[in-house]
Structure 1
Amino acid sequence: MKHPQISKTRRGGQLAQRLKPVAWASSIALLTGAAAAQAQQTGAAAPAGAASSPTSLETVVVTGIRKSLDSAVTLKRESRGLVDGIVAEDIGKFPDTNLAESMQRIAGVSIDRSASGEGSKVTVRGVGPDFNMVLLNGRQMPTAVIGWEGAGANGSRAFDFANLSSDSIAALEVYKTARAESPTGGIGATINVKTARPLDVRERIASIGVKANYDASVGRLPGPLQGSKTTPEVSGIYSDTFANRTIGISISGSYSKRDSGSNKAYTQNGWGTNDPAVKSVSPASNIVNNPAGLYATSRELRYSLTGMERERINGQATLQFAPSKELKFTLDHTLAMNTLHSKNAEMSSWFNNSFSGDLKTNPATQFTTGPVAAPIVQTAIWDGTHDLALNTGQYAQKSKLNSTGFNADWKVSDALRLEFDAHHSNAKTTPDSPYGTYSTMDLAMFNQGNATAYYDQKFPILSLPGQKFDDTKLNVTGTQFRNNLSDQTVDQFQTRGTYRLGTDDKLLAGLGFTRTKNRSASYNNQNNDWSGVAPSLGQFAGINTGTYSLSSFFSRIPGHDDPRLFPSFYMADFASLRDRAVKIKQANTPGMTQAQAEAYFAAASDYTRGDDWRATEKSSSLYGQWDHAFDTAIPMNLSVGVRYESTKVESSSQVVDHSGTTTWGSQNEINLASGGTTFGTKSGKYSYWLPSIDWDADLAENLKVRASYGENIGRPGWNQMQGGLSLGGTANPNGGGTGSTGDPALKPLRSKNFDLSAEYYYAKSSYAALGLFYKKVSNFVTTSSVDATVPGILNPASGTYYNAALAACGGNTQPLCIRNYIFRNYNGQPGVTATGPLDAAEVAGTITSAVPGATPIPFKVTTFTNGPGDNIKGLELNFQHMFGRSGFGVSGNYTKVKTGLKFNNLRTDQQAALLGVSDSANLVGFYENDVWSIRAAYNWRGEFLAATSDGNGNNPVYTEPYGQVDASIGYKLGSNLTLQLDLLNLNDGYIRQHGRTNEMLVSALQTGRRYLIGARYRF
């Protein structure tokens, strides 16, 4: 059917192209957030015999995938600056189950995945999650991120999309160019998440959806860690208007529960560079390819299995009142609760700098050739009494977001429009267990002999010749019960106005005030003194344990079936182990009550004895922008603006005082005392003028070109602005301790952004685009280390006894030789207490800083400074094609990113490298008719730098290329009921990370496929 053309007109300063009615419908759907886009005849039928109006239109209905893509094309084509987006196919039906996974379909957007395999944070054009501003209906949202596995609050500004359900989301808008009216912080992009508004929707919406979520990763766990393979999801939305469309009410809610599993092989304490113990192996020929330059060795190898339970509740209520067409008030509240629980079991072997020296009975440690040498075989020699670690832990936290906002939109006259917006929002993450956010019982079996690690394939292989399970050799070597708290509040007021000078000119101006209060606190009830348990073995015999096939848990990672792999995975039960430890602790401590013993193995309920960082950030902003449309032979648009941003920061910090007696209780750890707390406050401020300019031109009816320049800032992380000196709870006998301190006077990153693009709209709903971008980033926040000592903290691995032991061991600094010498020659002297036989291969006992001649422990204190910057540059290619009226369509994109802010693998000092820079690509195909809706998507992300430290110094962590295939199938039964099947991670991919070379495995993570089947009924 051929529709009449619509002549060109000026609409809001933009050129309205010769659009068919279906495109007009798509534009209206985007601007109003309507659930169905319609272009239809208006008014009553014409009298018989009357001539038909040349502009009368027949009804055209655009729905589903096609409507969503049409709306996204309209957004891209008609926006000033470079904007991409995703629009819901229907209110209550976003195209993906996770917002982050939806955004990865946009050119230049990549995602970071959580341990469960879900997308959680986004990287845009090589700029990491901390420097992408996320807004909810134009408002800055608070974040309350806690590092998993006991890391505490990590200071991140990144928004975690896993906390938001996609059910009530109407659209995602990604603004890639800086604009004066956009809040600062989005160097990569400003992302606006839009929810449905009842007065913007032209009809009543009422629907309910149910889903069953089947997660195959659960079946890859041992029975005690497994949750339910099938879990429920329920969602619903009601939106309607009353009193002649002067009152609008919208209520939406969702509940989802997901049980999942993740299996990981990793090196927790990273890779040590140029370990002198390698050079002390005698004879040196026992090291194959003994490296001459830079080399690294692993500290340990671990296999970790985790069963996770997530429960998410989202809700939103919106009330709108429009007493006239010129005035509209909106009051809304958003609630998001996300509860995470997990159970973990881990088996690991520490190598402790003990390298092979007997080639007749053990595989030799063998290195690759340079320029950075890595072991493909690494052997540690033990006498059969070494400890094989069998840790078990639990993790529990609850995140809660509450946001209440008010908006007034007033059309004062045909020329002037004003808008006022204010909100109070709080995000808080707290422990959700009496054992704290993070708890672990460090169990060890003291019958391990030699160990060999093989790093010659994707999966790391641990060989333990002759290892057997013997519960009479079990003992607890340490416990941690940590409480972490992250609490952030945002109070924001914004007012903006638009004044139309004429048909082709308008002025925009705005004023904003934002106050963000951030608190990060933690306290760790950590005991590394055998947890008060006598070191004699056998007291933990008979506890609940299990033996499983190790290789079966990693079936997707190449090399898991290597015959060299130790066949068994030993797992202890957390509750059984803790109960036994409580009984032993009480029995061995005269006068201790049951309640006191229980508290010994539980998290502290307050943070008065731990680290507590608090910061307040107050920002005020003012902007002005002029928009002009040139009515020339080549229609053009120009926007010129400037934004002024001023910020004050005050940071107060409470940190643990570690002065006191230190204890050298095991070969590689010196435990620092935990005393009272110290407190301090610092402040800083900065202000910037940030210009922006956007230009576009319609070179032809279907060809648009753009050019943009804009400046933006990215604020430092909260941890980088914290005052006070925070020390780690342990130190290394040879390497010393670590600490960190921040600086609230840090300047933000400043980015000057240039963009060029061309867009060719060659057919209805079809286009191809090329974009080039260049970002010049300055004030990059870098880390530096300062060598320091702390008054009152002395080193037990020093002094008279240590020096004598060092001489007796021939200068060999390996802790085993030195500790054995001190115990055998100075037992009972000040600071020396042997608790095991003196003729044992490894004498058990403690050495404290009370030894004569003890010197201060050296600390490497990490601090943050503003360093020089560099550039980020790249290109984006994207296309979308509809195959006529066949119902078939395809879209795709490719992004290439390069930066000078790289990590140099040949350097071992601290470096200012940009995280997350990677190439990415997407390909989506779909088919849709009145009954079926089928979509398949492939997403790929290239290798990127994930961290500049692997937990053991200045060593990089690279995430290797990863691709994932997802699909969805929808089937309509009548006009109201839709059946839906979502298939996620169909290729069953795994995620691998490595260090300076591919052989330096950091982690290999395996999850599994996920299937969701459900139905949605629309009333």
Structure 2
Amino acid sequence: MTEVLVQGRRLARMRSSMRTGLTPTAAAVAAVAALSAVPAHAQQAQQVTVTGIRSAIESAISVKKNADGVTESLSAEDIGKLPDTTIAESLARLPGVTTQRTREGSASTISIRGLGPDFSGYLINGREQAGIGNSRALDLSVYPAELIGGATVYKTADAALIGGGLAGTIDQKLIDPTLYRNRVIAASRTKVRTGVGLDKDKEGTGSRTSLTYIDNFADRKIGVALGFVRVDGTSSQYTCCGWGDGTVTAYTGATATGTGIANVKVPSFGSGLDYSTRRYSDDRTGVAAILSFKPSQNWNSQLDYFQTKADTITKITAVKAGLYPYNTITNATVVNGVATKGTYTLNSSDPAGKIIGFSEGITYDDTIKTLGWKNTIKLDGGWQATVDLNKASAQRIERDNEAYAGITGVDTLTFDYSGSGAPKLTVGNPLNYTNPALFQVRDQSGWSGIDGVPQAGYSKGPTIKDKVDGIRVDLKKDLAAGAFTEIQFGANHTNRKKDRITDEGLIVSTTGGGKDRISMPSDAYVENNVGGTGLNLLTFDPKASLWPGATVLRKYNDDILSKTWGVEEKVTTAYAKLAVDTKMAGVPVRGNVGAQVVNTDQQSSGYLAGVGSNVVLVNPSKGITTAGTSYTDLLPSVNLTGDLGGGNLLRFGLGKQLARADLTDQRNSFAASVDTNPANKATFGRFVGSGGNPFLKPYRATALDLSFEKYLGTKAYFSAAVFYKDLDTYITKFTDTAYNFSSYASQLGLSIPANGSVGTFTQAVNGSGGTLRGLELAASAPLSVLAEPLRAFGVSTSYSNTSSSVNLPVGLLGANPNQPLDTSTQRIPLPGLSKGNTKFMLYYDQSGLQASVALNRRTTYVGSVANDAVGGYPTLRYIQGSAWVSAQIGYELQSGYLKGLSVRFEGNNLNKPVYRQLKADGVTVDSEIKTGAAYALRVGYKF
């Protein structure tokens, strides 16, 4: 069975499915009441080998009790048995840590204390990582849990912690072979079934295989750890919804004759249809190799390598149609002014009023590598020196191709919306939509944005390359006497280069000037019941290599050009730190004080172009330009823990923290043009432009933490913590309506319009002021505190509440970085901020038999999501709060020839949560995806 040590300052979490949650706050209070019944006798904390949930909690209590700062951490003491498929799933179980889940229902990015993923620092073995995304945030779902020995979330600043973030820092640890005295060989095989509860043909399958080998040689002077993980799987989901309500005149007969019923509402999809079936396939491979060499007591050398490769494919089949041109329906059933049934007559010559069979193929080819060589040497005089050389790289090759199919004749569309879920749709000639001779890829008139230029599909996708090279030198020495017991200082230098190159264009026919219809390839197939509507459509996978008869016509505008950029950062950090162990007012106090001096030299590159939102077919750029700045930050920090006696600890943390700008905002792109659209009354005839800001300074904050912790032996604990962050600076988008373009007009080849050189320019800028504050409660206890017969049962729970005075313009929702902001006074919260996050877990653990049931709940928040719009950047959207229920049961043999053999069955998303994106009001559903439940059966063996 899974044997996991979860080490947290306030709470332990143990399982892959243990995304724990606590709905009522009163449940936490009840747990505290139970804790108070335990005798408060102090025990010497010691790390133990984990054999189950109970041991993991006791070990976690020992570790967190001895921590200097405010941290949450987890580690797999028993190799190959970290309880989740990815490290993102594991971290999501810790207090004050939440995850943004993908449309497939799995954890991806991590938010700490209500701040978005970009505000966190990301490390492996203390080294800065490279990422595959558009920003600084890492997609932690690509890291296989079996290759990670553990991870620690640092919530407070520490002078020796390099590359920290403003929200916190996540440091993943690879397996360390020197911690194992004996050879370890572990293997496991897992079979997975996903999408349970959807249509039978929408269910997915998968498998997971892991192997681990650890050994020591030459009297433990040489240690080796090797790990391998292979994962593959499929899953499917339905997505909806329509374009909004429509208003029609309804006729109850088969024809629109006689007197109709006026002003009848067709709910949800009356303006247009957008229902789809998404099919996912995933193939991931991860390897890790660690070589440790310790020839003497004075020298230790460790070389480690980690690589993960993930190939992900998403196939989307959708039915789309603009119904807003039609103002009548026949065969109508009307109840209280709402049509529950009816028939539209569709005119295929109207580009907005025909059924479109939408086929889309999205591929991600991701590779992440890290390499590090660390040497520790003991010097004369009690000094210890460490030199760490490291490099990391990440690459994503993304391709997203769309194709739009349709028929040529008139047809009818009948709907039945008298039930729940998607409307049931029926066309008059259903065979036409599955016949390859009739249902073909065709131009959607007007979609290209250029008069006379067709568009039968669209191709987009960036190639992202990120590389980080680093060197770190540390010196430390124990001090003989006084309040300070150790001195440590050192320096770190990293050089980071990240490039994003975008290629986009229209998919057109190779014949007829691009306007001919294009037949689907020979591997086209029929997708039944698209989006749960009942419609069957011929579809195919428009892969990156396209298909016969199709080609790409490159296109350009300010949006497309802005998505190609490069950023280089050289960051040098010097630090000094003193360990504290003394008494204050008779109270034993331990911890550390220190400071960092961080110098940053940043340079960004991007296109300079005289172009606006209007599309052109020739690259208008005047070339790549580079600009940047440099700055220095002083980051002091204090972490103190007072021992009040009786198992009571009081922690205090104070420090300066920073988080650098999103790399998209930091790009050096610049585009401008004269607005020629009379409908834009405010900007017509004036310059309109947008760009990045290579001179951006970081988010900066002063952070204060205070935490009370009650330890009852090594079996139970309670903690209550508050934190406060005072933001000195932050970053937001700003539209300057009095920007002077005179210095750029000649470079861009633009003439000054009659209205002059002053116009509107949008970019990211530094702002100042604002606060973030929060409360975190956590408790864990065996139920033996209530009654001894319940000794095999236990409870763990946590609750966090976060709020901020900082809010952002509502115009950021759904916008690309180059778009002017809505001047509305409506505001949105900081991305990633959920006001509430609750976790609850009930477990059983005795004699190798373990079982658990868990709940994790997160309130509504603003998250960064993939933009389905043609050519779109990832964009901000409201994501509706939801809960995830999971459970598992397993058994591991404790003795005999098969000792170490384990079997586990688990279920995730048992409540079948629905992923919903909301509109700008934060309430109305914009789209939703049903994921279904997932089940896994795992067999493992360790010897």
Q: Specify if TM > 0.5.
A: yes
| In structure 2, C-alpha distance between the alignment counterparts of 1:997 and 1:466, rounded to whole Å | 38
1:404 to 346, 363, 371: 371
SS in 1 for 2:354: strand
| In structure 2, C-alpha distance between the alignment counterparts of 1:871 and 1:235, rounded to whole Å | 45
Match of 1:750 in 2: 700
Match of 1:818 in 2: none
Alignment of 1:517-666 (within 5 A): 517-527=497-507, 546=526, 548-550=528-530, 553=532, 567-574=534-541, 582-583=548-549, 599-600=551-552, 612-631=564-583, 633-654=586-607
| In structure 1, C-alpha distance between the alignment counterparts of 2:116 and 2:103, rounded to whole Å | 18
1:203 to 163, 182, 188: 182
The alpha-carbon deviation at position 920 of structure 1 amounts to 0.4
Match of 1:512 in 2: 492
The alpha-carbon deviation at position 461 of structure 1 amounts to 5.3
| In structure 2, C-alpha distance between the alignment counterparts of 1:380 and 1:623, rounded to whole Å | 71
Contact residue 287 and residue 356 of structure 1 kept, 8 A: no
The alpha-carbon deviation at position 405 of structure 1 amounts to 0.3
Partner amino acid, structure 2, of 1:318? I
> 1:950-1003 CA distances to partner (integer Å, 9 max, x unpaired)?
879999732112111122322113422111223211111111121134663222
Matched, 1:323 2:295: yes
SS in 2 for 1:101: helix
SS in 1 for 2:497: strand
> Structure 1 767/473 Cα, relative in aligned 2: closer, same or farther at 3 Å?
closer
| In structure 2, C-alpha distance between the alignment counterparts of 1:366 and 1:404, rounded to whole Å | 66
1:982 to 891, 906, 910: 906
| In structure 2, C-alpha distance between the alignment counterparts of 1:439 and 1:337, rounded to whole Å | 22
SS in 2 for 1:675: coil
Of 1007-1016 and 173-182, deviating more is 1007-1016
Contact residue 120 and residue 168 of structure 2 kept, 8 A: yes
Match of 2:3 in 1: none
The alpha-carbon deviation at position 382 of structure 1 amounts to 7.0
The alpha-carbon deviation at position 883 of structure 1 amounts to 3.0
Contact residue 611 and residue 656 of structure 1 kept, 8 A: no
Match of 1:188 in 2: 167
The alpha-carbon deviation at position 468 of structure 1 amounts to 5.9
The alpha-carbon deviation at position 411 of structure 1 amounts to 2.9
Matched, 1:441 2:357: no
Alignment of 1:915-930 (within 5 A): 915-918=831-834, 919-930=836-847
Matched, 1:1015 2:939: yes
Contact residue 267 and residue 1001 of structure 1 kept, 8 A: no
The alpha-carbon deviation at position 520 of structure 1 amounts to 0.4
SS in 2 for 1:387: coil
> Structure 1 738/387 Cα, relative in aligned 2: closer, same or farther at 3 Å?
farther
Matched, 1:123 2:47: no
Matched, 1:310 2:254: no
> 1:708-766 CA distances to partner (integer Å, 9 max, x unpaired)?
111111111111111123699x9999569997421111011002111111000124321
Partner amino acid, structure 2, of 1:348? K
Contact residue 990 and residue 1004 of structure 1 kept, 8 A: yes
Unpaired runs of at least 5, structure 1: 1-16, 27-36, 38-61, 146-154, 273-284, 290-295, 368-374, 432-436, 554-565, 584-597, 660-668, 795-852
1:914 to 820, 830, 833: 830
| In structure 2, C-alpha distance between the alignment counterparts of 1:726 and 1:63, rounded to whole Å | 60
SS in 2 for 1:758: strand
> Structure 1 1000/578 Cα, relative in aligned 2: closer, same or farther at 3 Å?
farther
Matched, 1:416 2:396: no
Match of 2:319 in 1: 347
2:140 to 153, 161, 167: 161
Alignment of 1:779-794 (within 5 A): 779-785=729-735
> Structure 1 999/333 Cα, relative in aligned 2: closer, same or farther at 3 Å?
closer
| In structure 1, C-alpha distance between the alignment counterparts of 2:123 and 2:562, rounded to whole Å | 33
The alpha-carbon deviation at position 24 of structure 1 amounts to 2.1
Matched, 1:485 2:478: no
| In structure 2, C-alpha distance between the alignment counterparts of 1:961 and 1:748, rounded to whole Å | 30
| In structure 2, C-alpha distance between the alignment counterparts of 1:261 and 1:510, rounded to whole Å | 51
1:496 to 461, 464, 474: 474
Match of 1:55 in 2: none
Contact residue 287 and residue 364 of structure 1 kept, 8 A: no
Unpaired runs of at least 5, structure 2: 1-39, 247-260, 445-455, 812-820
2:885 to 938, 952, 965: 965
The alpha-carbon deviation at position 916 of structure 1 amounts to 1.2
> 1:897-939 CA distances to partner (integer Å, 9 max, x unpaired)?
1112235769943767411111101111221122212222211
Contact residue 774 and residue 873 of structure 1 kept, 8 A: yes
> Structure 1 547/247 Cα, relative in aligned 2: closer, same or farther at 3 Å?
closer
Alignment of 1:58-137 (within 5 A): 63-88=51-76, 90-137=78-125
Aligned length: 823
The alpha-carbon deviation at position 645 of structure 1 amounts to 0.8
2:626 to 681, 686, 689: 681
| In structure 2, C-alpha distance between the alignment counterparts of 1:393 and 1:731, rounded to whole Å | 33
SS in 2 for 1:130: helix
Match of 1:391 in 2: 358
The alpha-carbon deviation at position 876 of structure 1 amounts to 0.3
Partner amino acid, structure 1, of 2:194? D
Partner amino acid, structure 1, of 2:53? I
The alpha-carbon deviation at position 183 of structure 1 amounts to 2.2
Contact residue 175 and residue 191 of structure 1 kept, 8 A: yes
The alpha-carbon deviation at position 63 of structure 1 amounts to 1.9
Contact residue 100 and residue 111 of structure 1 kept, 8 A: yes
> 1:112-148 CA distances to partner (integer Å, 9 max, x unpaired)?
1122211011011111111111211111110012xxx
Alignment of 1:709-748 (within 5 A): 709-725=654-670, 734=679, 740-748=690-698
| In structure 2, C-alpha distance between the alignment counterparts of 1:308 and 1:541, rounded to whole Å | 21
Partner amino acid, structure 2, of 1:937? A
> Structure 1 389/238 Cα, relative in aligned 2: closer, same or farther at 3 Å?
same
2:926 to 988, 993, 1002: 1002
Matched, 1:936 2:853: yes
The alpha-carbon deviation at position 525 of structure 1 amounts to 3.0
Q: Which of structures 1 and 2 has the larger relative contact order (alpha carbons within 8 angstroms, sep 6+)?
A: 2
1:778 to 728, 734, 743: 728
Percent sequence identity over matched residues?
Answer: 22
The alpha-carbon deviation at position 948 of structure 1 amounts to 11
> Structure 1 511/739 Cα, relative in aligned 2: closer, same or farther at 3 Å?
same
Of 107-116 and 969-978, deviating more is 969-978
TM-score w.r.t. the length of structure 1 is 0.72
Contact residue 401 and residue 543 of structure 2 kept, 8 A: no
Match of 1:59 in 2: none
> Structure 1 576/982 Cα, relative in aligned 2: closer, same or farther at 3 Å?
closer
1:766 to 702, 716, 741: 716
Of 626-635 and 100-109, deviating more is 626-635
Match of 2:770 in 1: 870
SS in 2 for 1:510: strand
| In structure 1, C-alpha distance between the alignment counterparts of 2:632 and 2:245, rounded to whole Å | 41
Partner amino acid, structure 2, of 1:24? Q
Contact residue 612 and residue 655 of structure 1 kept, 8 A: no
Partner amino acid, structure 2, of 1:917? L
| In structure 2, C-alpha distance between the alignment counterparts of 1:732 and 1:969, rounded to whole Å | 64
| In structure 1, C-alpha distance between the alignment counterparts of 2:165 and 2:771, rounded to whole Å | 16
Look at both structures and tell me which one has the larger radius of gyration over its CA atoms: 1
> 1:627-663 CA distances to partner (integer Å, 9 max, x unpaired)?
221146321124221111110111122477769xxxx
| In structure 1, C-alpha distance between the alignment counterparts of 2:83 and 2:109, rounded to whole Å | 18
> Structure 1 887/202 Cα, relative in aligned 2: closer, same or farther at 3 Å?
farther
Match of 1:232 in 2: 207
Partner amino acid, structure 1, of 2:404? D
Partner amino acid, structure 1, of 2:932? G
1:256 to 231, 246, 254: 231
> 1:169-212 CA distances to partner (integer Å, 9 max, x unpaired)?
22221111111121244111111111221112233221111111
TM-score w.r.t. the length of structure 2 is 0.77
Partner amino acid, structure 2, of 1:673? L
Contact residue 476 and residue 533 of structure 1 kept, 8 A: no
| In structure 1, C-alpha distance between the alignment counterparts of 2:178 and 2:543, rounded to whole Å | 58
The alpha-carbon deviation at position 90 of structure 1 amounts to 1.4
